[in-house]
Amino acid sequence: MQDDVLGDGGATVTSRDAAFRDDPQRFYDAMRAHGPLWPDPAYGRSVVTGYEVAREALRHKSFGVDARRATEGSYARRIAGTGVFEGVGETAYEPPLVLLDDPAHRRIRLLMSKAFAAHTIDRERTRIERITAELLDDVARSAAADPHGAVDVVETFTSLLPTRVIAEMMGLDGAAPDDLRTWSEQVLWGYDPDRDASGQDRLREAYVSLGRCIRSTVAARRERPIDDLVSAMVLAQEDEDRLSDLEIASLCTQLMVAGNVTTSDLLSSGLDLLVRHPEQLAVLRAEPARMADAVEEMLRIDPPITETARIAYDDAAVGGCPVHAGDTLTVALAAANHDPARFAEPQRFDVCRPVEGHLAFGSGVHVCLGAPLARLEAQIGLGAFLDRFPALGPGRTPGVRRALPFFRGFAALPLRVV
């Protein structure tokens, strides 16, 4: 693979670019061929694409996630200009867990894990099954009204299931799922290093709207806790330590954003993979018990978060290459999952493949807190979809990929379901 597919780097190797959106692995392969670190001067960063080096970077003791410690003008600093560290008044916001280093990170993660512990997987199973069944009734109705028995599965199913699940878990019953999803996506546009003033305004509006909706729930649960996640956060305690209102509101925003777009994308990409690989769909129909492995293979081959970042705090080495204090490393999780040195024939979708160790949920101290929930939603949601629609197949028009930075999924995915 030639380096020239990479051009001058920058936005051409991000989801802003249609060619990259269609086939990011072509670009990642070219970066991997270059060596352990691919320098991208246009964006002031180096990209890690190999599996072992990605794991090393995610767990490196000299690396952290605080963009304020990155070199001026670097990729991490451009993204951090979202105001997540600067909000005041209605946009006051604690940095998300994923952008906190220890000891602050350890403290919040511990309290958060305690709150999550009450929401055991078995308890959530019933909720997810109920919401899935309700949504699939609507999908069937929409398909029956379509002359080709087709529906946009993003609009009717994949974008709705995770949003309803997390909103119900948190107790945000009053908020419309469509609004929650729109605000979540707007917050994620904050990770666009090239966002303009209007993007910044939309981001601020999303923080304000989501914040208002969440803060009123937090205040109500402080008064009178009930059996939901916000109440569990209000009550979570470690020694004398508790979460403040601002911390809870910020954490809820993160859960809404992190848990919603990602899991929607896993469901959409999973359905897309299955209809494009009918022989794998047939294997799964014949052996539904393979669903858990199939979801891991979907996470490996098309992970919803394609990239994350680490900042070097000291001069150090990764993959045997020197890095300097202040350098930004983009850790391409999607590339690591396609490293042929770790996964044989990485482009082949195989629901029978043993895929332990993929990096779709990250690795190290920041490993995804919601992974068990996301896995369960995908296993139940996709399993029920296949049961309900035996005629599932490609739609008459191709799916449309979303341009959101680092979050790979579909804006629309028309499929034939009946």
Q: Contact between 43 and ligand HEM (CB under 6 A)?
A: no
Distance CA 415, CA 418 (A): 9
Q: Contact between 259 and ligand HEM (CB under 6 A)?
A: yes
Nearest of 218, 212, 251, 259 to residue 235 by alpha carbon = 218
Q: Which stretch binds ligand HEM (CB under 6 A): 31-39, 69-77, 192-200, 258-266?
A: 258-266
Q: Which stretch binds ligand HEM (CB under 6 A): 5-13, 27-35, 250-258, 398-406?
A: 250-258
**Closest to ligand HEM by CB, 264 or 280:** 264
**Closest to ligand HEM by CB, 97 or 284:** 97
Distance CA 375, CA 370 (A): 9
Q: Contact between 80 and ligand HEM (CB under 6 A)?
A: no
Tokens of 94: 């604690």
Distance CA 9, CA 355 (A): 31
**Closest to ligand HEM by CB, 25 or 308:** 308
Say which DSSP state 117 is in: H
- Tell me which residues in 328-387 interact with ligand HEM (CB under 6 A): 333, 360-362, 366, 368-370, 373-374
Quote the least distance from Cβ 369 to ligand HEM, whole Å.
4
Quote the least distance from Cβ 124 to ligand HEM, whole Å.
10
- Angle in degrees, CA 241, 243, 244, rounded to 5: 115
Long-range contacts of 170-179 (CB under 8 A, 24+ apart): 170/214, 170/217, 170/228, 170/229, 170/230, 170/252, 170/255, 170/256, 171/217, 171/221, 171/226, 171/228, 171/229, 171/230, 171/231, 172/213, 172/214, 172/217, 172/230, 172/252, 172/256, 174/213, 175/213, 179/209
What size, in residues, is the chain? 418
**Closest to ligand HEM by CB, 150 or 307:** 307
B/e letters for 32-42, b = 16+ CB within 10 Å, e = fewer, are beeebbbbbee
Q: Contact between 9 and ligand HEM (CB under 6 A)?
A: no
- Tell me which residues in 137-196 interact with ligand HEM (CB under 6 A): 166
Quote the least distance from Cβ 255 to ligand HEM, whole Å.
4
Task: Give the residue, chosen from 263, 306, 328, 379, that forms a contact with ligand HEM under the rule CB under 6 A.
Answer: 263
CB 236 within 8 A of CB 114: yes
**Chain residue at closest Cβ approach to ligand HEM:** 370
Nearest of 256, 261, 79 to residue 185 by alpha carbon = 261
**Closest to ligand HEM by CB, 83 or 364:** 364
Q: Which stretch binds ligand HEM (CB under 6 A): 26-34, 202-210, 219-227, 252-260?
A: 252-260
Quote the least distance from Cβ 340 to ligand HEM, whole Å.
21
Bridge partner residues of 63 (DSSP): 312
Task: Give the residue, chosen from 1, 5, 11, 98, that forms a contact with ligand HEM under the rule CB under 6 A.
Answer: 98
Q: Contact between 311 and ligand HEM (CB under 6 A)?
A: no
Task: Give the residue, chosen from 150, 167, 281, 305, that forms a contact with ligand HEM under the rule CB under 6 A.
Answer: 305
Q: Which stretch binds ligand HEM (CB under 6 A): 131-139, 141-149, 254-262, 286-294?
A: 254-262
Q: Which residues bind ligand HEM (CB under 6 A)?
A: 58, 97-98, 109, 166, 254-255, 258-259, 262-263, 266, 303-305, 308, 333, 360-362, 366, 368-370, 373-374
